[in-house]
Amino acid sequence: MSKGRLFGLAAALAALFGCDEGPSSNLTFTSTPDVWSFVTGIAPAGPLLVKVHGNPFGEPGDMLSREVVRAIAGTFTEPWLTFTDRDEDAASKDARLIWLIDPQAGFNADLVCAGELPAPDAGRRVMELRAVFCHRGRPLSAVHGWVRRPDSAADPRWRNLVSQMARQLLSGRG
């Protein structure tokens, strides 16, 4: 085998094995062909509510929620698109982004929007995140992501995953 082919094979294998640790995500569901138009219709009224379930870092829950909100907010440059983790600051309780960290298998976006949340399952080598954009108890979009298990919510790879998933969740594009 030539050196060039050997190098190409080695590069391909390195890329393949590196991908399983993420950050990686994919859009798994949309109920409307243009989620972003829906966002532009409701978000100017005030902050969208962000709810985070699961806490693998052992940090105070409100600290983790604030980190998720910061990562999401840093994704978008639109001045009218803001986020909060506080119910009382949200413009509408009807629209919310629900983030599940390390949920058990059997994830169901309809059940999550209806308030039935899966129990956490942090026994994996990679951290799994699920995000659902809900409106009036129904899912508008859902995203699945994973990353090598970080030590904290300040890990750049984890923040990158949250940002990447937020863009997919609110744009409805993969």
pLDDT digits (tens, 9 = 90+) for 5-60: 433 333 333 333 444 677 999 999 999 889 999 999 999 999 999 999 998 888 88
Contact 118, 132 (CB under 8 A): no
Contact 96, 43 (CB under 8 A): no
Per the structure, how many domains does the chain have? 1
Contact 101, 129 (CB under 8 A): yes
**Domain assignment of residue 120, yes or no:** yes
**Domain assignment of residue 134, yes or no:** yes
User: Domain range holding 150?
Assistant: 22-171
State the average pLDDT over residues 88-108.
92
| Predicted pLDDT at 8 | 39
Instruction: Check which CATH number belongs to the domain holding 76 and give it.
Output: 3.30.160
**pLDDT at position 120 over 50:** yes
**Domain assignment of residue 50, yes or no:** yes
**Domain assignment of residue 47, yes or no:** yes
**Domain assignment of residue 28, yes or no:** yes
**Domain assignment of residue 31, yes or no:** yes
**pLDDT at position 3 over 60:** no
SS (H, E, C) 5-31: HHHHHHHHHHHHHHHCCCCEEEEEEEC
**pLDDT at position 148 over 60:** yes
**Domain assignment of residue 9, yes or no:** no
